[in-house]
Amino acid sequence: MSMPEHPLDPAGAAPAPGNAPPALDVRDLEVSFHRRGRALRVLKGVTMTIGQGEAYGLVGESGCGKTTLAMAAMRYLATNGTIDAGSVAVEGQDVSTLSEEALRKWRGGKISMVYQDPATALSPAMRIGDQLAEVFHYHEGMGKTEALERARESLRRVAIPDPDATLKRYPFELSGGQQQRVVIAMALAVDPQLLILDEPTTGLDATVEAEILDLIEELRGRINAAILLITHNLGLVARLCERVGVLYAGRLVEEGPARDVFTDPRHPYTMGLLRCVPRFGMNKTDAALQTIPGTLPALGEPLEGCVYSARCPMAKPVCTQHEPDFFAWPSDLGARAAAEAASKPPDPAAFSPHHANPVGESDRYARCYFSPEVPEMPHMTPVLATSLEARGAEGGNVLEIDTVRRTFKDGKKKLTAVADVSLDLRKGETFGLVGESGSGKTTLAKCVTGLLAPDAGTITFEAGELRPTAARRSQDALRAIQMVFQNPDSTLNPAWSTRSILTRAVRKLGGGKAGSVRAKVDKLSADVRVEPRFLMQRPTELSGGQKQRVAIARAFAGDPTLVICDEPASALDVSVQASILNLLVELQTNEKVSYVFISHDLAVVRYISDRIGVMYLAELIEVGGAEEVFNPPHHPYTEALLSSIPKLDFDSPRRRIALHGTMPSLSDPPSGCRFHTRCHRLLGDICKEQEPPFQESTTGHRYKCHIPPDELLAAQVADRPGPHAEAVAQATDAPGTDSADPQPAAS
Amino acid sequence: MLRLIGRRLLLMVPTLILASMLIFALAEVLPGDVARSILGPYATQEQVDLLNQRLGADRPVYERYVDWAGGFVTGDWGDSLLFDEAVLPLVMRSLGNSLLLAGFALVLIVPTSIAVGVFAGLRRDSLLDRGITVSTLSMTVIPEFVSGVVLLYVFAVWLKWLPVTALPPSGSPFVSRFYYLILPAIPLMLLELGYIARMARVGTVQVLAMPYIRTAVLKGLPRRRVIFGHMLRNAMVPTVTVIGTQIGWLIGGLVVVEVLFAYPGIGNIMVQAAKNKDLPLLEASVLMVAILYMVSNLIADIVVALLNPRIRMGG
C-alpha cells in the first residue's frame, strides 16, 4: 500500500521502486537548537523514506519537530539550529553537500513548499504575476514575456477563475483559497520531485479547505512530485496519504500505511491522538473525550527510556529504563517478548531493521514494547453523564434573541453582519453556532455580551430585556453573561499573576469579603484544575491549555448564567482541546450554566452542543437539535459543510459537494435565498426571487429553504454515498466503540 | 491614489488655518509693543500710539488676523520692520537657502543611513551590527552646535580644507555653493544618521522575519533578488515616514547650524525676527515652515502609498 494508487507521472511509466532513489531519504537525523549555550535536541535519530510519487503524512502535536524536519530538508534551519548527525537526501543527493548556488537551484526546483498561512506567504507589495514569473526567470532563465506566459499557465493548472486578471492582482486582493492556489502554483512551477505541504489548509474555512484538498488530490494525478504532508489533522492524512509517520518529542514513534495506522494503531501515542478527537456524530452524553495526561516534554529535557513513557497509560518499568527500538509490526514480537521478560533492551540483531528498503518486507513499525496491547489501552477519563435532564435544563429560556440586526460601515458600503437573527437558548443548554468566517457568528455573540449594540431587535435575558451596550447594563447582567475567547494569550493581562487575575475577577464580579475572595479563587482554580503553584505565575509562563483554563476560571468567577465560548479550543493541540472540552462539559454539569459555543469545527460543535444554529452570510439558516441539524433533511449549505470535513474514513466512498463560486459580499447579499448563488439543490427562479420561509421537519428542527422536508430528505438520502444510505442516515449517531473505528473525524 | 492625494491636500486647509491662528496668537503674546520696539525707548507715548494706529496695531485681534491671513493668501505679506524690505521676497530667499542646505544634507543622509541600517539589519546581532548601532547612536547624542564647532575648528580653521563661511563670495558659480555647504551639512548628517539608520535596521529585521521572505528564499531566488525585490520595499515603510517628519525639521529647525555658520536661511531669519519683534516677518516665515512641514509629510505618505499597494488602492 505504500506505493502508488496514483500514477507516478502522467504517462503512467512508474520507475521501478527498488532502483530509483527515493524522493526523500532521511537517515538518523539529529537536529538541535542552541539556546543560551545549551543544545536542545529537536529531532532524535529520525529515519524515514518517501518513495518517488508517494504521499507521506507526518503527524504529531505542535512542538514535536514536524516543521523542523521539513526545514532540514530545505536546509533552512533557524540560525541557531544545527544538524548534529545523520543525513537528508533528495533523489539520492545529500542536501548538506550542496554549494550555495546549487542549493538555490534546488530550492524551488527539486523541493518546494506550501505554507500554512497563504496571506503572509505571498509578498504583499508584488503582483501575483511577478511573483510567479520570477520562479521561471531564476530557475529556467526565461525572459519576462515567456515567464509571464508560463505564470499564466501555472495559474490555469490550479484552476484560478480568471488567470489574466489574477496575474495583475496583489495578494491582498485575493481570497484565502485563491491565495493558497497561487502558493501551490508557485510550488509546482518547476516540476519538483518533492512537495512539502506544511499545514496547507489550517486556518482556511471548511468549504475552502475542501476545495484545496480537491485540488491537491486532482494534481497528484498530473505531477511527478512526492508529497510530504505535515499536519495535526489526521483526517487530511487519511484522505491524501498512502503512508503516515507519527512524531512525538522528536522521535518517530509509529509508521505505516495510513489506513492500517489509523484503524489499528500500535503505539499508545497514536491511539491517544485518535481517541482525543471527537469522532463525527459523537455527543457529550455518549462519552467523555479521552485526553493524553501530562504535557509534551520541554525541548532538551533529558528523557530516560521511551520518550512517551511519562504520559503513557500502559508504561511498565522497562519503558522508563530502555528506549524501545523501531520494531516491525508484527514480525518483531518475539524480540519484544524476550525483552519484556528480562526487563532489558532487546538484542538489536533480533528485530527487523527499519527502512533497509523503502518498500521492504515489513511496512509497519512502532516504537513500543507493548504494541499488541495498544488496542486495549486503558481509558483515562471517566464517562460523564450530562444529559439535558441531569443538568436541570427543562425550565424555560435563558436567552431570547429577537430579529437582531447589526450593520457596519465600510467606506460608503453598508455591510450587514447580522441580518434579523432570532433564536432561543434554554436553561442549562449548549447552543452551537457554526458557519464560515464572515457569517456573523462573532458579531451576534458580541451583541449578546454588549460589546456591540444591535441596530435593531431585542435581546431578552432571564425574562428581562438587555440594554444594548455593556456600559449601560446592570452589574448583575454583566456578571451573568461572560465570554471565553479563542486566544487566551491576548485576553489575560501578561503583567499580572494568575492569582491577581482571578482575584480581580472575583472582586469585580462576585463581590464578597477578603477571606471569601481568597477561598473563591482557590475553589475556582481547583474547579478548572489549575494547580496552586501556577497561581503565582504569570500567563506567559503557562502552557496554552493552562492559560485557557485560567480564562475559563475568570469567566466563571461571578457564577455566570450564560457563557459565550468563541472558538475556545481551536488554537490548541488536539489532546489539550479534548481536556478543555471535557472541562466545559463538567462545569456545565456542576454549575448549571448555559453555553453559546461558536466553532468552525463541526465535529467539536456536534460533540458539545444540544442544539445547533447554522449561519450563512449574516442569516441564521438552520436551527434545531444537534442530531437533526446534522442529518437529512437539512439545509443544502449544512449538507455541503458536512461533506467538506476530511474524515478518518477509508471505507465509504466520499461524495463531496463542491459549492459554486465564492462567498458573496455582505454589502450586496444575493436576492431571494442568500445561498442560491452557490446552492447545489437550486430549484429555479423561486430561489432567486423569493426569500425562503423557515420549514419545519418532522423531527422539529427548522431550516430556511424552498424545498419541503420530505423532498429534501429523499434527495439527500439518495445522494448519500455508499450502498446502505438509509441505514447510514439512521446510524450515524449511534455511539461508537472507543478505539479508532472507521468513523472518526479529526479537527 | 489621486483621491488619496486630493483628500490629503484638502485636509491641509483646516490644518493650515489652525496653524496660522496659533502662530498669530503666539506672536501677539510676545512681550513688548510693536511701535515702541521700532521707535525705541526715547519716543514719546503719543508717537508710539500714532505709529501703532498707522500700523493698525490698535485694532482688535480678529480684525488684524483676517487682514493678515487675507494678505498672506493674496501675496501681500507686508514689510519687514527689521530689514526694511517686503517680507515675501525676503522669506522666499531665505527659504531657498535653507532648502538648498536641507536638500544637500538629505542627499548625504538618506542613502547613507538607509544603506547603513539595512546592512546592519541583514547582519543582525553580528559584531558589525553592534558596532554600527553603538557608533551611530553616539553620533546622535552629540548636539549639532558641539559637532559644528569642532568640525569648523578642525577642517576650516586648523586644516583649512574647507571654507569657514557657508556662502561663497557673490559672483561665484552656483555649483561652488555645495562646496561651502559641506561643513554645515555634516553636523546634520551626524545627528540624523543614527535615527534613520535605526529605523531602517528595525524595518529590515522585522521584514526578514516575515513568512514571505522565507517563501522567496525557498523558491530559489538569489539573495540579492530576495533583498531588493521582496525585502527592501516593505522594510522601508517606517523609514520613509520618519524621513518625512525629519525633512520638516531640517528646513525649519536649522536655527543653530545656520547661526553658527552665519547662513542666511529661514531659521536665522526667524531668530532675528523674534528677537526684534518683527511680527510680519516672523509670522510669515513660521507659517511657511509649517506649510513645508505638511508638504514633506504628504510626500512621505505618498511614497509609503507607492511602496504599499494596499494603501495605494484602498484610497
Q: Which of A241, A243, A180, A170 is nearest to A209 (CA)?
A: A180
- At A637, the amino acid letter reads Y
State the alpha helices, DSSP H only, in A158-205.
Answer: 163-167, 176-187
Within 8 A of B215 by CB-CB distance, chain A residues are: 113, 115, 121-123, 183, 186
Q: Is the pLDDT of residue A741 over 50?
A: no
| B56 touching A (Cβ < 8 Å) | no
Q: Is residue B24 part of a domain?
A: no
Residue A90's nearest CA partner among A203, A205, A210, A225 is A225
Per-residue confidence (pLDDT) for residue A299, from 0 to 100: 79
Please tell me whether residues B42 and B151 are part of one structural domain. Answer: no
Contact (CB<8Å) B214/A123: no
Residue A14: pLDDT over 50: no
Mean per-residue pLDDT over chain A, rounded: 84
> Which tens digit of pLDDT belongs to each residue from A148-169?
999 999 999 898 888 999 999 9
Question: Hey, which residues does B17 pair with through a beta bridge?
Answer: none
Residue B270 has pLDDT above 80, yes or no: yes
Cα–Cα distance for residue pair A312/A292, rounded to 1 Å? 8
What is the predicted pLDDT for the residue at A512?
64
Does any domain span residue B226? yes
**For position A735, what pLDDT does the model report?**
39
Of B220, B230, B233, the CB nearest to A139: B220
Establish if B212 touches chain A: CB-CB under 8 angstroms: yes
A190 interaction partners in chain B (CB closer than 8 Å): 220
Residue B214 and residue A138: Cβ atoms within 8 Å? no
Residues in B touching A170 (Cβ below 8 Å): 309-310, 313
**pLDDT bucket at B314, cuts 50 / 70 / 90:** low
Is B60 inside any structural domain? yes
- DSSP three-state, residue A616: strand
* pLDDT one-digit tens code per residue, A473-485: 888 888 999 999 8
Report pLDDT for A131.
95
Q: Which of B217, B229, B310 sits opposite A172 (nearest CB)?
A: B310
* CATH number assigned to the domain comprising residue B301: 1.10.3720.10
Residues 218-237 of B with CB under 8 A from A: 218-222, 225, 229-230, 233-234
CB A187 within 8 A of CB A112: yes
How crowded is residue A215: how many other Cβ atoms within 10 Å of its Cβ?
19
Return the pLDDT at A389.
62
**Which phi and psi angles does A745 have, rounded to 5°?**
-120, 140
A258 or B29, which is more confident = A258
A8 band by pLDDT with thresholds 50, 70 and 90: very low
Cβ atoms of residues A227 and A240 within 8 Å: yes
State the first-to-last Cα distance of chain B, in angstroms, to the nearest integer.
Answer: 6
Q: How far apart are the first and last CA of chain A?
A: 25
- Interatomic CA distance for residues A184 and A212, integer angstroms: 9
Residue A229 pLDDT level (bands cut at 50, 70, 90): very high
Average pLDDT of the residues in A696-722 = 85
Q: Is the pLDDT of residue A661 over 90?
A: no
Q: How far apart, in whole angstroms, are the C-alpha atoms of residue A273 and residue B161? A: 77
Q: CA–CA separation, A254 vs A370, rounded Å?
A: 13
With CB atoms and an 8 Å threshold, state whether A123 touches B216.
Answer: yes
Percentage of the residues of chain A whose pLDDT score is greater than 70: 87
pLDDT at B229 over 60: yes
Quote the radius of gyration of chain A (alpha carbons, Å). 27
Contact B309 A172 (CB under 8 A): yes
What's the CA gap between A580 and A585, in Å, rounded? 9
- Per domain, the residue ranges of chain A are 24-263, 293-376, 397-615, 627-731
A24-263 topology per CATH: Rossmann fold (3.40.50)
Tell me what the mean pLDDT of segment A92-119 comes to: 91
Cell numbers 510669515 correspond to B284
Cβ-Cβ contacts under 8 Å, B219 against chain A: 107-108, 112, 134-135, 186-187, 189
User: In angstroms, rounded to a whole number, what is the distance separating the alpha carbons of residues A457 and A446?
Assistant: 14
**Same domain for B112 and B39:** no
Question: A468 has which bridge partners?
Answer: none
Is residue B180 located within the same domain as residue B67?
A: no
pLDDT attached to residue A353:
63
pLDDT value for A396:
82
Non-local (6+) Cβ contacts of A372 within 8 A are A330, A333
> Residue B311: CB partners within 8 Å, gap ≥ 6?
B4, B304, B305
Which residues in A34-65 are b (16+ Cβ under 10 Å) and which e? eeeeeebbbbbbbbbbbbbbbbbbbbbbebbb
Q: Which residues pair with A483 in a beta bridge?
A: A564
**B91 and B71 share one domain:** no
The pLDDT score that the predictor gives to residue B224 is 93
Range A346-354 average pLDDT = 66
Q: Which of B205, B219, B308 should be substituted to probe chain A, the one whose Cβ sees the most A Cβ atoms within 10 Å? A: B219
Query: Whole-angstrom Cα distance, residue A589 to residue A385?
Result: 8
- As a dihedral over the C-alpha atoms of residue A481, residue A453, residue A619, residue A204, rounded to 10 degrees, the angle is -70
Q: For position A542, what pLDDT does the model report?
A: 86
Give the structural domain span for B305. 87-314
Least confident of A46-50, A467-471, B252-256, B294-298: B252-256
* ipTM beyond cut 0.85: no
Write the CA distances from A227 to A54, A259, A473, A649, B209, integer angstroms: 6, 17, 55, 20, 26
Residue of chain B whose alpha carbon sits nearest to that of A114: B215
**Which contiguous run of DSSP H or E holds residue A212?**
helix A206-220
The two counts, helices (H) then strands (E), for chain B are 16, 0
- Residue A341: per-residue pLDDT: 65
Q: What is the pLDDT of residue B197?
A: 93
Residue type, B253: G
For residues A469, A473, A477 and A481, what is the CA-based torsion angle, rounded to 10 degrees? 20
Closest CA to A135 of A176, A178, A191, A181: A191
* C-beta of residue A114 within 8 angstroms of C-beta of residue A183: yes
Q: How far is A126 from chain B (nearest CA, A)?
A: 8
Q: What integer pLDDT is reported at residue A382 of this predicted model?
A: 62
pLDDT for the residue numbered B32: 67
Q: Please give the tally of structural domains in chain B.
A: 2
pLDDT in tens, A277-289: 887 777 887 778 8
Classify residue B82: in a domain, yes or no: no
List strands edge to edge, sheet with A93-94.
A38-50, A24-35, A81-90, A93-94
Identify the CATH class of A397-615.
Answer: alpha beta
* CB spacing of B219 vs A76 below 8 angstroms: no
Amino acid letter, B116: V
Domain shared by B188 and B60, yes or no:
no
Q: Which amino acid is at A339?
A: A
A661 or B228: which carries more pLDDT confidence?
B228
pLDDT at res. A266: 93
Q: Where are the beta strands (DSSP E) in chain B?
A: none
As a whole number of angstroms, the distance between CA A418 and CA A211 comes to: 26
B229 CB neighbours in chain A (<8 A) are 123, 126, 134
Which candidate from B211, B215, B309 shows the least CB-CB separation from A170? B309
Give the residue-averaged pLDDT of B48-61. 78
Beta strands in A435-514 (DSSP E): 456-461, 464-465, 481-484
Mean pLDDT for all residues in chain B: 86
Contact A124 B308 (CB under 8 A): yes
The pLDDT tens digits of the residues spanning A167-226 come to 999 999 998 889 999 999 999 998 899 999 999 988 888 888 888 998 998 888 888 899
Q: Are B159 and B179 part of one and the same domain?
A: yes
Per-state percent for chain A, helix, strand, coil, to nearest 5: 35, 20, 45
Partner residue facing A138 (CB), from B211, B225, B307: B225
Domain match, B66 and B201 both = no
| Mean pLDDT along residues A700-714 | 90
End of a domain among B20, B52, B76? B76
Amino acid, single-letter form, for residue B68: W
Min Cα–Cα distance to chain A from B224, Å: 12
Q: Please answer yes or no on whether B309 and A117 come within 8 Å at the CB atom.
A: no
3-state helix, strand, coil in chain B (%, to 5): 75, 0, 20
Preferred mutation among B129, B205, B212, B227 to probe A, highest tally of A CBs within 10 A: B212
| Residue B18 within a domain | no
Chosen domain end from B76, B110, B140: B76
Torsions phi, psi of A324, nearest 5? -70, 155
Residue B231 distance to chain A (closest CA, Å) = 9
pLDDT in tens, A557-604: 988 999 999 999 888 888 888 889 988 988 888 888 999 999 888 889
Q: What is the mean pLDDT of residues B258-269?
A: 87
pLDDT (0 to 100) of residue B161 = 87
Q: Do A120 and B219 touch (CB under 8 A)?
A: no
Query: Residue B145 falls within a domain, yes or no?
Result: yes
* Residues in chain A within 8 Å Cβ distance of B217: 76, 107
Question: pLDDT tens across A402-428, in order?
Answer: 999 999 987 778 889 999 999 999 888
Give A358-401 pLDDT, tens digit per residue: 445 568 899 988 888 888 888 876 656 556 666 655 668 899 99
How distant is the Cα of A144 from the closest Cα of chain B, in angstroms?
Answer: 15
Residues B54 and B188 occupy one common structural domain: no
B314 or B92, which is more confident?
A: B92
Among candidates A63, A42, A64, A40, which has minimal Cα distance to A248? A64
- C-alpha distances in Å from residue A702, one per residue of A599, A641, A695, B303: 20, 17, 5, 55
Is pTM beyond 0.90 here?
Answer: no
- Tell the residue number behind the cell numbers 442560491, with chain if given: A676
DSSP string over A376-435: GPPP-SPPP---TTTTT--S-EEEEEEEEEEEEEETTEEEEEEEEEEEEEETT-EEEEE-
Contacts of A298 (CB under 8 A, 6+ apart): none
Cell digits for A439? 457569517
Q: Is B20 part of any domain? A: no
Q: Does B154 share its domain with B40?
A: no
Q: Are residues B141 and B160 in the same domain?
A: yes
Together in a domain, B50 and B157: no
A464-465: strand order across its sheet? A413-426, A397-410, A456-461, A464-465
Cβ-based contacts of A117 with chain B (< 8 Å) = 211
Q: What is the pLDDT of residue A736?
A: 38
Tell me the C-alpha distance between B24 and A697, whole Å.
Answer: 76
Q: Give the SS3 label for residue A374.
A: helix
SS (H, E, C) A78-136: CCCEEEEEEEEEECCEEHHHCCHHHHHHHECCCEEEECCCHHHHCCCCCCHHHHHHHHH
**Planar angle of CA A543, A549, A552, nearest 5 degrees:** 145
Question: What is the average per-residue pLDDT within A509-523?
Answer: 81
Higher pLDDT, B4 or A655: B4
Separation between Cα atoms, residue A120 and residue B213, nearest integer Å:
9
What was the pLDDT predicted at A224? Answer: 83
C-alpha torsion A19→A21→A26→A27, nearest 10 = 50
Asked if the domains at A24-263 and A397-615 fall in one CATH topology, the answer is yes
Helix (H) or strand (E) holding B18: helix B2-28
What integer pLDDT is reported at residue A436 of this predicted model?
87
Name the residue of chain B whose CA is nearest to A168's CA: B309
For residue A744, name the pLDDT band (cuts at 50, 70, 90): very low
Closest B-chain CA to A106: B220
To which H or E segment does residue A73 belong? Answer: helix A66-73
CB A242 within 8 A of CB A210: no
